[in-house]
Structure 1
């Protein structure tokens, strides 16, 4: 009897922990997967709005397909809608807190929005999760470095381009 509360708490913890890893591993509905592929092709062609429509259709078909939020975020960034992209990355992270691509993407969108200090928090989180040499960490670090470099005056940039 004394162990019943502890056993219940342990089983609840195991159930929650087990469900966290499933978010990105499940197989999406085939119709949703086809819509995602269509959206990716549209995004590659530069048609961000059509891609968003396809990604949203995929979510309507399969609301549990978390990776589509990363695609929606990419499409929003292509439209220079960093705030919307950050919202999509955060939705992906709410469903899968260990999603390295979402942490990195959110950091990149933060840099694009001008929130470099917040992006540095994402970088620190990536470094603690996967180290300094994982691709997501390297990419975000490069984006932060480029985003914090001082801008050259236009005449200096023209001289540099001429050389």
Structure 2
């Protein structure tokens, strides 16, 4: 009689866990609606409609939060808008989903250089070389060129500053 309640609890736990695990989708199965929204975002981005692209990418992530292409698209838009810090965060999200994503590594490295973090970009270049050890990746040469060029030079504003009036 003592073991009946423990056995029943264990059976219910086993049943619940096995049902939950059985119901999960594999990581490789991204919702097709999310992929369609990513394509809509790419088209809007190519047409110069950055706000429309952001909306489509964010909608794709709402449909399926594992859509790496949406994170990469958001990062590209952020870089276009000269927001490298935000872009780095989006690329990091993509790399958390798949650490060996060559496009995300290259794009994050370029955003790091844009922000001035050249040493961190070199870390991305090392990761790219490791990932592409058995194949040819043009991303290595592209990121190497961006690192060699260095961060953009920020100059002072060309707007003249008005002198304050004397009493």
Counterpart-to-counterpart distance in 1, 2:92 and 2:54? 17
User: Structure 1 residue 138 and structure 2 residue 155: aligned?
Assistant: no
Q: How does 1:6-45 map to 2 (within 5 A)?
A: 23=27, 26-45=28-47
How big is each residue's C-alpha offset from its partner over 1:96-121, in whole Å with a ceiling of 9 and x where there is no partner?
Answer: 11111111111000011111111111
Counterpart-to-counterpart distance in 2, 1:56 and 1:150? 32
Which residue matches 2:110? 108
How big is each residue's C-alpha offset from its partner over 1:58-100, in whole Å with a ceiling of 9 and x where there is no partner?
Answer: 1111222222111111111111111111001111111111111
Q: How does 1:48-59 map to 2 (within 5 A)?
A: 48-59=50-61
CA contact 2:114–2:151 (8 Å) conserved in 1: no
- Gaps of at least 5 residues in structure 1 are 1-21, 152-163
Q: How does 1:59-98 map to 2 (within 5 A)?
A: 59-98=61-100
User: Structure 1 residue 126 and structure 2 residue 124: aligned?
Assistant: no
Task: Decide whether aligned partners of structure 1 residues 114 and 36 sit closer, same or farther in structure 2, where only a CA change above 3 A counts.
Answer: same
CA contact 2:38–2:70 (8 Å) conserved in 1: yes
Q: Paired residues, what number? A: 128
Moved over 6 A (4+): none
Structure with bigger helix share is 1
1:129 CA drift (Å): 2.2
- Gaps of at least 5 residues in structure 2 are 1-25, 155-167
Q: Calculate the TM-score normalised by the size of structure 2.
A: 0.69
Counterpart-to-counterpart distance in 1, 2:34 and 2:130? 33
CA contact 1:85–1:109 (8 Å) conserved in 2: yes
Task: Decide whether aligned partners of structure 1 residues 62 and 146 sit closer, same or farther in structure 2, where only a CA change above 3 A counts.
Answer: same
In structure 2, the residue corresponding to 1:64 is in which secondary structure? coil
Counterpart-to-counterpart distance in 2, 1:93 and 1:64? 11
